[in-house]
Amino acid sequence: MAPRFPIERCCCNPERARIQLACDDDRRLACAMRQLGVVARTDPQQAAAFLQPLFSPFAADMLLQACRSLGLVDVWISCAARYCAARPTRDERRNFFGYIRWHVDDAEYALLTERHAAEWHRLRAGRATETK
């Protein structure tokens, strides 16, 4: 199981968090991406599990930029598709795609839309079987 980034803490450093010192978002993102790099090197199969929860506290384009530098764009695309598919409304999903379109090339966008469609159907199929 991939280590989790301590999103709920004001700082990812336990000693700073213990005395309630906060980090700004840029420092928290840097810590998260440093830890993602370690996970990707030591246990690449867990990179997506580590990255997925980071879509809530951090902007998708910032995560993409960091993942580009780590060579993890494919992992980002899978996680972004899952994150977007889980958005409860069509408007939220459209806004996500409209926002992220400026940050990806055509091939990445095509892959993102393909994975998003598959993930959206997977999530909705799970809900349909739960109600029966």
Q: How far is CA 41 from the centre of its chain?
A: 18
Q: Where are the alpha helices (DSSP H) in 86-105?
A: 90-100
13 found inside a domain: no
The count of structural domains within the chain is 1
The domain in which residue 91 lies consists of: 44-131
- Residue 32 predicted with pLDDT over 80: yes
- Residue 53 predicted with pLDDT over 50: yes
Give the Cα separation of 36 and 73 in Å (integer): 13
Give the Cα separation of 110 and 101 in Å (integer): 10
pTM confidence score: 0.83
- Residue 129 predicted with pLDDT over 80: no
17 found inside a domain: no
